[in-house]
């Protein structure tokens, strides 16, 4: 019988594979498998009436993946979109060319209407800001949450891919879920990210940046 042992560093097997293989986990932990690896907290910013929030440090060649988590991002204006844009010069300019698409599912609070499908009005390209959440409400119980992962932003060979999953309580008193996928169309290293609403300030909320240790 083949014995395959799984640990944090390698997979060892005593002989060739067979139908009655036995797997044993010796020292794996839950964080070893989260988002492809352990999450290393790099920095956190709390909004308080900010026009935008910039992350201009901590995004470098240390990790191959970076993860932003959004906790109760509350906007000043009703029916506004939460956005991002990248920088290759440390935040002096946020004008990277992006290509992206959005899928959306929603249901009203009263279960009066629901839909799932492509949101073509939020697909796009060019140097415009990328909508990662749309139609956010500004009442006290309405906010944006979720996360976005950026792959190998410091690389200088490939474009920089990103994917986001963003639930919110929207301006129509319902639940929204947006899934966004795209890429920054540059082989230059990305080293800064800006977040903002399409109109109005970020009244409150926390954005946390993690490196993904693979």
Least confident of 28-32, 48-52, 93-97, 124-128: 28-32
Which residues lie closer than 8 Å to 10 by C-beta, 6 or more apart? none
pTM above 0.85, yes or no: no
Q: Measured between alpha carbons, how far is 92 from 14 in angstroms, rounded to an integer?
A: 56
Task: Characterize the bridge pairing of strands 144-151 and 65-75.
Answer: antiparallel
pLDDT band at residue 27 under the 50/70/90 scheme: very low
**Over residues 25-35, mean pLDDT:** 39
């Amino acid at each position: 019988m083949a014995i395959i042992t799984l640990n944090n560093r390698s997979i060892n097997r005593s002989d060739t594979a067979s139908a009655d293989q036995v797997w044993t986990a010796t020292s794996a932990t839950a964080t070893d498998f989260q988002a492809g690896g352990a999450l290393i907290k790099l920095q956190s910013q709390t909004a308080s009436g900010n026009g935008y929030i910039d992350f201009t440090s901590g995004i470098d060649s240390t990790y191959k993946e970076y993860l932003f988590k959004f906790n109760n991002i509350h906007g000043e204006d009703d029916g506004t979109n939460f956005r991002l844009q990248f920088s290759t010069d440390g935040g002096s300019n946020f004008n990277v060319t992006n290509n992206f698409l959005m899928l959306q599912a929603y249901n009203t609070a009263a279960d009066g209407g629901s839909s799932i499908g492509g949101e073509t009005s939020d697909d796009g390209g060019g140097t415009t800001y990328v909508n990662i959440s749309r139609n956010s409400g500004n009442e006290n119980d309405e906010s944006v949450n979720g996360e976005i992962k950026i792959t190998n932003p410091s690389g200088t060979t490939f474009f920089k891919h990103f994917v986001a999953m963003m639930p919110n309580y929207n301006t129509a008193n319902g639940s929204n879920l947006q899934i966004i996928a795209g890429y920054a169309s540059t082989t230059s290293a990305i080293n800064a990210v800006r977040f903002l609403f399409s109109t109005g300030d970020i009244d409150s909320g926390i954005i946390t940046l993690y490196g993904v240790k693979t």
